[in-house]
Structure formats: C-alpha cells, structure tokens
Amino acid sequence: MRTDRMDDTLIEVPRGLTNVVAAETALGDVRGHEGFYHYRQYSAIELATERSFEEVWHLLLFGALPDRGELRAFRERLVRARVIPPAVAELLPAIARLTAGADALAGVRMALAAVAAEDRIRPLFDETGAESITDAIRVAAITPVLLADVHALANGRRPRAPRDDLGHVANYLHLVTGTEQDALRERAVSAYMTAAIDHGFNASTFTARVVASTGADLAAAVVGALGSLSGPLHGGAPSRALDTLDEIATPDRIDAWVTEAVRSGRRIMGFGHPVYRTEDPRSRMLRGMAQEIGGGRVEFAVTVESRVLELLAELKPGRELHTNVEFYAAVVMELCGIPREMFTPTFAAARVVGWTAHILEQAADGKIVRPSSRYIGPPAPLPLPPRD
C-alpha cells in the first residue's frame, strides 16, 4: 500500500483497490471471512439449490421473489426477449469468422453492439426506469443465445433454435450441447449458474458500473464487463482448472506437479481467492453436485483437491489458500456436456444477470465514477528540452 498527502488528507492507495468501498448496493454482499455471500436478503447458496434461475433473476431485478403468476409472466417475457433480430442473425456468420480461434466472448461483444443498434437501445441517461429494465431483460436474455450461436457457427454448425418449452438453463444447455440433460445434470448447471449471477464488486461488475455511471447504453456497459471477464485472472479460469487435472493425470503425479508449480511461481488455477479466507461456499456446493453425478473424473478431482490443499499448506505456510469456484465448476460443466471452450461463456451467461442489475442500480445513482490517481513520475513542471 502506498500513502500520500493531498490537501493535508492522508490518501491510501492499496494495490488493486483492495477493500476500497466504491459504492453502496442493495443487491448483495460477500463476507469472505465467513465463507458466505447473499443476494439481497437471502443466502445465495440456498437460492442456487432451492430456487430456479428465473426466480433469482426476478429477485435481483425487482427486489422480491416472484409468486407463481409473476414467475409465469416473467418467463414469457424472457422467451420474447431472447429472439435475435433478423439483421443481427445475418451478421453472426461474419462475426464468427472474424473471431474464429477466440472464445465466444469476443464474438458476443460484437453481436451485442449490433443488437443495441438494431433495437435502438438508448443511453441510460435518457431512459425511464421501466425502459432500462426492459433493456436489462433484453440484453441478459439474448446473451446466452448469442454465445451459443457464435460458438456453433465458429465450429461449422448451424445454430439451434431456442425452445420455448424449456426453462432458461435447460434452454441454454439445449443450445450449447444439442441435448436435454437429465434432471440431475440440469440441476447441477442451474445451481452453478445461479450461484454465479453475482459476487460483490468483482472486476467485471465494477467495469459495468463504471460504464453505466457515464450514462452510456446498457449494452455498452455489458460489453465492457465482457471484456473484463475475458481475462484469465477473472472468468477465464474454469477451463484452466480442468487443464490442471489433465496435466496431473494420475494420483501419483500430484506431489511432483504441485511442488514444481509452487517453486516455479506458477499459479495453480482453481485454488485461492482474493476475498475468501475460508472455503468458497460455491466450491463446496459444486463438489456435492459433482459427487451426486459421480464417476472417475469426480473421484480424481476430489483426490487432487485434498492433496493440493495439504501441499499448499506445507509449501506456503501462513497463506489461506482454498479451492475456489472454478475448480468444481469445470468438473460439473464437463460432466454436463458443455465443451471446454464454453466454460467462461457459460459463466458470462449467468453473470450478465448480475451485471444488468448492477447497471440499473448505478444508473439510478446518477453520479459518474471518477476516482483520482497518485502521480509517481518525475517532478513537474520541467522545462522542455531543446529540439535536436
């Protein structure tokens, strides 16, 4: 942490803005030392395991869990909101070609900008609250469809049509995998996606709020969040956690692999979290989901997790390193037929609901986010040097 004085006030500058309170929110909180987080007034993990994705979406948007009639109306609204405009559908093959070799997040950033232009989504600064909610539902509902379509086209397949008879998560699985998963697997993916909707002022959520604070349109704020999420230190970790299992390969290789990784300074994906100082509750939930499905891959993952935690305690004494959400999220998604390159896009398909809720909250505040920086360069002003 650096300190400086500005106008006789001590300014603290922690790296990464750690523990700096940037805004107030009624959407939820993460209590890292307790291993607990919540959406509004309810435990996020209880919501993930006991309520549908759509119910939690309604909670974040409107402040209350829906009754049966409200839930039915909300689901009907989502069906209408996820329809891709014909002009955008015509662009998707070109977008897929341009972003071939990248993940679907690159393509969906372009596609969402096109949707915003086609729908004439206006700046948040110029909209009423009801109009902004309509935009939030539109953007969050269409994003999973765009992700699946860009992925299909990039892999030489025709996109699958959404099914109106399926719930939001089941429909996403249909679009990505082409199959209806059994109830256990659908429940596991639903729990994961619901638990991924929001998680404090993470990098992508903060990015979305910064863009929203300028009064820009809602899709622009989501595009900014998607750019933040694409980084390996944020949402890009699930597939890399699965790479760890592949590289270790067998139980007898765990010790050597982890020891070499720690000594060489490599980060072990799937372990450690900037907020939690105890077990990540999402990891605990997803471990249980994976074990319900069962199989050799799950047994190996549990073995690796246990031994990695023991070795990290020995090799990095004093560090609070626990399994994070990416480790078992990767295992669950693999078990449910989601291709590895769609792990981070699946995270985005869930987190976009949280982003849009935060965007609406930030837009209602009406204050632009404009922090200060501390200059550490050469003293100024200096005279300009003569030209050669």
Which residue type occupies 377?
Answer: G
Quick one: average pLDDT of 245-261? 92
pLDDT at 9 over 70: no
CB atoms within 10 A of CB 126: 10
Residue 208 has φ and ψ, to the nearest 5°, of -60, -40
Q: Which CATH architecture has domain 28-230+345-365?
A: Orthogonal Bundle (1.10)
Q: How far apart are the first and last CA of the chain?
A: 41
Give the integer Cα–Cα distance in Å for 253 and 271.
18
92 touches 153 (CB < 8 A): yes
pLDDT digits (tens, 9 = 90+) for 101-146: 777 899 999 999 999 999 999 999 999 999 999 999 999 999 999 9
pTM of structure: 0.91
pLDDT of residue 7: 52
Distance of CA 379 to the CA centre of its chain: 41
pLDDT of residue 1: 47
- Measured between alpha carbons, how far is 302 from 299 in angstroms, rounded to an integer? 5
Give the residue extent of every domain in the chain.
Answer: 28-230+345-365, 238-335
At 179 the pLDDT is 87
Say if CB 198 and CB 27 are below 8 A apart: yes
pLDDT for the residue 103: 78
- Distance separating alpha carbons of residues 208 and 358, to the nearest angstrom: 8
Spatial separation of the C-alpha atoms in residues 341 and 88, rounded to whole Å:
23
Statement: residue 243 has pLDDT above 70: yes
Tens-digit pLDDT profile for residues 39-80? 999 999 999 999 999 999 999 999 999 999 999 999 999 999
pLDDT average, residue stretch 290-317: 91
Angle, CA of 258, 264 and 269, to the nearest 5°: 50
Distant-in-sequence, close-in-space partners of 233: CB < 8 Å, separation ≥ 6: 203
Q: Is residue 212 scored above 80 in pLDDT? A: yes
What pairing do the DSSP bridges indicate for beta strands 9-13 and 2-6? antiparallel
Distance CA 26, CA 22 (A): 14
Query: Angle 53-62/68-81 helices, nearest 10 degrees?
Result: 90
Higher pLDDT, 279 or 39: 39
Q: Decide if pLDDT at 8 tops 60.
A: no
CB neighbours of 48 closer than 8 A, spacing ≥ 6?
56, 190, 191, 192, 194, 195, 285
Share of the chain above pLDDT 70, in %: 95
CATH superfamily, with its number, for domain 238-335: Cytochrome P450-Terp, domain 2 (1.10.230.10)
Beta 42-43 vs 2-6: how paired, if at all? unpaired
Q: In the block, which residue shows the tokens 């953007």?
A: 139
Cβ atoms of residues 12 and 3 within 8 Å: yes
Q: What is the 3-state secondary structure (H, E, C) of the chain?
A: CEEEEECCEEEEECHHHCCCCCCCCCCEEEECCCCEEEECCEEHHHHHHHCCHHHHHHHHHHCCCCCHHHHHHHHHHHHHHCCCCHHHHHHHHHHHHHCCCCCHHHHHHHHHHHHHHHHCCCEHHHCCHHHHHHHHHHHHHHHHHHHHHHHHHHCCCCCCCCCCCCCHHHHHHHHHHCCCCCHHHHHHHHHHHHHCCCCCCCHHHHHHHHHHHCCCEHHHHHHHHHHHHCCCCCCCCHHHHHHHHHHHCCHHHHHHHHHHHHHCCCCCCCECCCCCCCCCHHHHHHHHHHHHHCCHHHHHHHHHHHHHHHHHHHHCCCCCCCECHHHHHHHHHHHCCCCHHHHHHHHHHHHHHHHHHHHHHHHHHCCCCCCCCCCCCCCCCCCCCCCC
266 touches 232 (CB < 8 A): no
Mean pLDDT of the chain: 91
Residues with a catalytic annotation lie at 273, 326
pLDDT of residue 101: 74
Please, what's the largest Cα pairwise distance for the chain? 77
pLDDT digits (tens, 9 = 90+) for 224-233: 999 999 887 7
The partner residues of 10 in beta bridges, in order of sequence, read: 5
Q: What pLDDT, in 10s, does the model give residues 91-110? A: 999 999 998 877 789 999 99
pLDDT of 298 strictly over 90: yes
pLDDT on residue 169? 97
Per-residue confidence at 11, pLDDT binned at 50, 70, 90? low
Confidence of residue 237 (pLDDT cuts 50, 70, 90): low
pLDDT exceeds 70 at position 2: no
Whether the per-residue pLDDT at 4 is higher than 80: the answer is: no
What is the structure's pLDDT at 145?
98
Q: Above pLDDT 90, what percent of the chain? A: 74
CA nearest neighbour of 113 among 226, 28, 192: 226
